[in-house]
Amino acid sequence: MSWKGGVFRQKKITPLVGDQVEFEYQDIKEGYIISVDERDNQLTRPPIANVDQAIIVTSVKEPNLSVNLLDKFLVLVESKAIQPLLFFTKMDLLTEVEAKSVKEKLTYYQQIGYSIEFLSTKDNEMIAQLSIHLNDKVSVFAGQSGVGKTSILNQIVPGLNLETDDISASLGRGKHTTRHVELIPFESGLVADTPGFSSLDFKEIQLENLPQYYPEFAVLQNDCKFRGCMHIQEPKCAVKQALVNGEILKERYDNYVQFAEEIKNRKPRY
């Protein structure tokens, strides 16, 4: 299928995977996209539109757990009004004590409203159960390279056989093995396998909007003394008081402060 590039270039529209489009065709082998419907949302990395949910896959070991990276993914998908689901993989690579400590930390995300699952490298039954999350949804898998996104997809979609690769011993992260974005029919939904990437930026995030992408901050916003409180330097801040009370995960709050500083100091675009 082709698309009428001249018309779309004038409107500054590039068709994306996931777009709802109108097209006309001469025969079963050749047709043209003539219009693209308005999108509910779109992502740049990976380039995909109209996503219902993002399944954020984070390993707890090889590569090691990064709450900072997890929170970056969450800010990104929250800013696009995409429902996140959190999958934590490779739990069986931890000792019993390590696993207990990790679960105690990560269940915080469940307490603030996120749906989470803990997976092992051999837990085929559990992975099969996860397929219920994909029904009637357009889902995107996202996460750092090497965390197990492609392996999960290979197990829940028989015959898919997407390429996987080993973790780089020198870098502690996986190599990019997924080269493109493709929507895969599964059950009554569609699943995209997306390139893994190890860094995110906040080019599309405005500083004043950052607090609303933290659900546990958003519910306290009206209790702050100042309207538009950024929860960093302002006095009588309900979020900072909740932090003192141990109701907010300190590591997550520290990430928030880091992200705010990163957004504030980014170079302007012209």
Q: Are 141 and 85 in contact (CB under 8 A)?
A: no
- Known binder of ligand: residue 231? yes
- Known binder of ligand: residue 121? no
- Known binder of ligand: residue 143? yes
- Known binder of ligand: residue 144? yes
- Known binder of ligand: residue 225? no
- Known binder of ligand: residue 91? yes
- Known binder of ligand: residue 146? yes
Cβ-based neighbour number of residue 214 at 10 Å: 24
Interstrand relation of 182-186 and 115-118 (parallel, antiparallel or unpaired): unpaired
The CA-based dihedral angle spanning residues 222, 227, 229, 235, taken in that order and rounded to the nearest 10 degrees: -90
- Known binder of ligand: residue 147? yes
What SS3 class is residue 259? helix
| 149 phi and psi angles, rounded to 5 deg | -60, -55
Where does residue 41 rank: exposed (0-12), middle (13-18), buried (19+ CB within 10 A)?
A: middle
- Known binder of ligand: residue 140? no
Beta bridge partners of 230: none
- Known binder of ligand: residue 92? yes
- Known binder of ligand: residue 18? no
- Known binder of ligand: residue 149? yes
- Known binder of ligand: residue 244? no
Q: How far is CA 127 from the centre of its chain?
A: 19
Separation of alpha carbons 117 and 112, rounded Å: 15
- Known binding residues for Zn(2+) are 224, 229, 231, 237
Residue numbers belonging to the annotated binding site:
89-92, 143-151, 224, 229, 231, 237
**Binding-site residue set for GTP:** 89-92, 143-151
